[in-house]
Amino acid sequence: MIILRAATLAALFLVSMVQMLLAQDVTLTSRDGTVEISGDLLGFDGEFYRVQTIYGELTVDGSGVLCEGPACPNLEDYVAEIALSGSDTMGRVLIPALVQAFADRNGYRVTRQRTDQRHLIMTLAEAQGGRIAGILTLRLTNTDEGFADLLANEADIVMALREVRPAEVQRIEEAGMGDLTGPRRGRVLALDGLVPVVARDNPLLKISTPDLARVVAGDVSNWAQLGGPDAPITLHLRGETSGLWQVVEDRLLRPAGKSVAEGAKRYDSDLALVDAVARDPFGLGLTSVSAAADIKQVPLSGACGFTLGADRLSLKTEDYPLSAPMFLYLPARRLPKLGRDFISFTRSEAAQLVIRRAGLTDQTPEEIAINAQGNRFANAIAQAAVDDGDVVDLGELQAMVTALSDKRRLSLSFRFETGSSRLDAQSRSNVELLAQGLEAGFYDTRDMLFAGFSDGEGGAAANQRIALKRAETVLAAVREAAETASFDQVSLSADGFGEAMPMACDDSAWGRQVNRRVEVWLR
C-alpha cells in the first residue's frame, strides 16, 4: 500500500508538471520530415495528439510523427488523464461506484484522494506491478459549472442533471468541440425523477401538475386551496444552481409560464431538503426519487382521474412526466483508451447493477407483459367512452388491442422536443440503446412494432396520422443508428393509434407531452 501511494503521488506530480507544460509549444514532424505541425499541445490520449494550431484544433496520429518540445509526453510511461465535471449528485456516489466496478473488472486497484470538498481524484493502478494506468479527476459542483469547465478545456466529460441548453450547444460548437446534441455526444447514464414530498402525517394524497406548478410559483400558498387545513404552505426547494432545480424550471415551471415564489427555503442537497420536510407538518418539497425513499411521496394526478406515481417502471418508460435523466456529455474529441473503455462499460449489465444499487433506475431495456399493463388499458377504455363530450370511435381502440394483444412492451419510449420533429435528448439516447441491441442480435427472429400515440387535441383521424408519422420517424432513426444490424433477421414495422391509449390527462402541457410518444412492442 505504501508503494502504491508513493506511485500515486509520483503520478500526480507528473500530471501537474505536464499540465504546466501543456501551454508550451510542441512541434510534430512526420517521420520522413516532409510535414511539420507546431502549436500548443491540448492533450494526448496515448495514441493521438490534440494540438491548437493556426489552422484550428488538429488531432494527429502519434504513430506517424515525432514530438519535439518540453510538453511532449513520455510515450513509454503514459498515464491516461480524464477530467469529469458537473453534478455533485452524480459525482459523489454514482460515478465513483461505476469507476470502482470498471476497475475491478479490468484488474485495477483504485485509490481515492480528496484534495478538497469539491475534488475527488481516483487513481487506477495495475494490480500486478502497480503501474499507474489512469487518473480520473472529478470536480463536484453543478451542471452549469460542468459545461463551463468543458468550454475552458478543464473537463473531458460533463456530468449533467439536465439537457444541454441551446446557448451552451452554440458556444461549445463554436469552440470546435462538436454538436453536443449529435449522435453519441450525450447519453443517459441513469434515470431519476422529480417528486413532491410531504411529512408522513400530511393528509395530501395526490396533486395535479398544474397545482404543483402553482404551489411552486406561490399562486397556491395555503393548504386549504388543496383540500387541506387552513395553514400556509412552506416551500422546500433545491438551490438555484443545482441541476435538479433546473429540472423544476424546465419540466414544471416553464411549460406553465410560471416563476418560483419568493421566500422558498433552499438547500444544497436532497438529503438536507428531505430532512427539513420530514420535520415540517406544513411543508412541501421537490426532490429526487432516489432521495425520497424514507419520506411520503405524493403521486401526480389530473382532472380526468389518472394518477401517476414515480416508480422504477414509470421512470424507465418515461410515463412519469417529471423524469430527471442523468447525462454524460462528451465533446467531439478522442478520449484516452481507458476513458473510451469506461464509457463503453457504463452500458454493460454490470454497470446497470451498480446503478440499481445506487437507488437509481437503470437503462437495461425490459419487456413488459400486456397483463401487467391493466391500468393503461383501463385508462384507454375510460377515455374511449367520452372525450370532451364527443364520442370517440371504439373501433380505434379495438384495432389497437388487436395489434398489441400478442406482444410485449419494451421499456424504451420515444418523445419529441416541444413543437419540433426532433427527438428529445433521452429519446436520442434510447435510439442508441435500441440500435445496439439490434446490432447485437438481441431481437433476431422477433417482430418489432413502433407504435405511435398522440394527445387528444384535434380530430381523431388527424391524430392517427400524426402518431403514425412519429412512429415512422423513430423507426427510421433506429435503422440509421443500427449500422451493422442484420435487418433480415428482425421484422420492423410502424403503426399509429392516435389518442387511443392516453397515459395522462390532456388538461395540462405535461399530460399532453406524456401522451405524445412512440412505444416499441415485441412479438
Confidence of residue 385 (pLDDT cuts 50, 70, 90): low
- 122, part of any domain: yes
- 131, part of any domain: yes
Statement to judge: residues 126 and 203 lie in one domain: no
Burial class (CB in 10 A: 0-12, 13-18, 19+), 61: exposed
Distance CA 339, CA 102 (A): 11
Question: Mean pLDDT across the chain, nearest whole number?
Answer: 87
Distance CA 167, CA 306 (A): 36
Statement to judge: residues 273 and 393 lie in one domain: no
Task: Work out whether strand 186-198 and strand 323-329 pair parallel, antiparallel, or are unpaired.
Answer: antiparallel
Statement to judge: residues 371 and 515 lie in one domain: yes
> What number is the average pLDDT over the span 280-301?
93
> What number is the average pLDDT over the span 17-45?
77
Statement to judge: residues 220 and 264 lie in one domain: yes
Q: Write down the pLDDT at residue 191.
A: 93
pLDDT in tens, 95-137: 999 999 999 999 999 999 998 989 999 999 998 888 999 999 9
**What are the grid coordinates assigned to 144, written together?**
452549469
Statement to judge: residues 218 and 341 lie in one domain: no
- 372, part of any domain: yes
Q: Which domain holds residue 458?
A: 365-522
Statement to judge: residues 425 and 474 lie in one domain: yes
| Alpha carbon of residue 260 to chain centroid | 24
**What are the grid coordinates assigned to 47, written together?**
495514441
Which residues are CB-neighbours of 318 under 8 A, at least 6 positions away?
Answer: 413, 415, 426, 514, 517
Q: What is the DSSP letter of 444?
A: T
Handedness of CA 287, 284, 241, 185 (dihedral sign): positive
pLDDT in tens, 57-105: 888 988 889 999 988 887 777 889 999 999 998 999 999 999 999 999 9
Tell me which residue has cell 412512429: 471
- 4, part of any domain: no
Asked if 243 contacts 325 with a C-beta cutoff of 8 angstroms, the reply is no
pLDDT in tens, 310-358: 988 889 988 888 888 999 999 998 898 899 999 999 999 999 999 999 9
Q: Which is more confident, 17 or 86?
A: 86
Strand partners, 288: 194
Q: Write down the pLDDT at residue 383.
A: 63
Strand partners, 44: 49
Statement to judge: residues 388 and 309 lie in one domain: no
CATH number at residue 496: 3.30.1330.60
Distance CA 64, CA 45 (A): 15
| DSSP assignments along 483-497, one per residue | TT--GGGSEEEEEE-
CATH number at residue 167: 3.40.190.10
Distance CA 249, CA 260 (A): 8
Numbers of helices and strands, H then E, in the chain:
17, 24
Question: Of 273, 199, 282, nearest to 237 (Cα)?
Answer: 273
The dihedral formed by the CA atoms of 476, 478, 483 and 489, expressed in degrees to the nearest 10:
-90
- 321, part of any domain: no
Asked if 467 contacts 423 with a C-beta cutoff of 8 angstroms, the reply is no
pLDDT in tens, 137-158: 999 999 999 999 999 999 999 9
Phi-psi label, residue 336: left if phi above 0, alpha if psi -120 to 50, beta otherwise: beta
pLDDT of residue 288 exceeding 70, the answer is yes
Statement to judge: residues 353 and 371 lie in one domain: no
Number of folded domains in the chain? Answer: 4
> What number is the average pLDDT over the span 407-429?
87
**What are the grid coordinates assigned to 37, written together?**
505541425
Question: What is residue 499's three-state secondary structure?
Answer: coil
Asked if 416 contacts 453 with a C-beta cutoff of 8 angstroms, the reply is no
- Rounded to the nearest 5°, which phi and psi values hold at 394? -70, -15
Q: pTM score, two decimals?
A: 0.80
pLDDT of residue 7 exceeding 70, the answer is no
Statement to judge: residues 378 and 346 lie in one domain: no
Statement to judge: residues 155 and 206 lie in one domain: no
Distance CA 170, CA 229 (A): 49
pLDDT of residue 297 exceeding 90, the answer is yes
Helix, strand, coil percentages (3-state) for the chain, rounded to 5, are: 35, 30, 35
Statement to judge: residues 370 and 455 lie in one domain: yes
Strand partners, 109: 125
Confidence of residue 247 (pLDDT cuts 50, 70, 90): confident
Q: Which is more confident, 415 or 183?
A: 415
> What number is the average pLDDT over the span 168-177?
94
Statement to judge: residues 98 and 241 lie in one domain: no
- 15, part of any domain: yes
> What number is the average pLDDT over the span 363-385?
77
- 246, part of any domain: yes
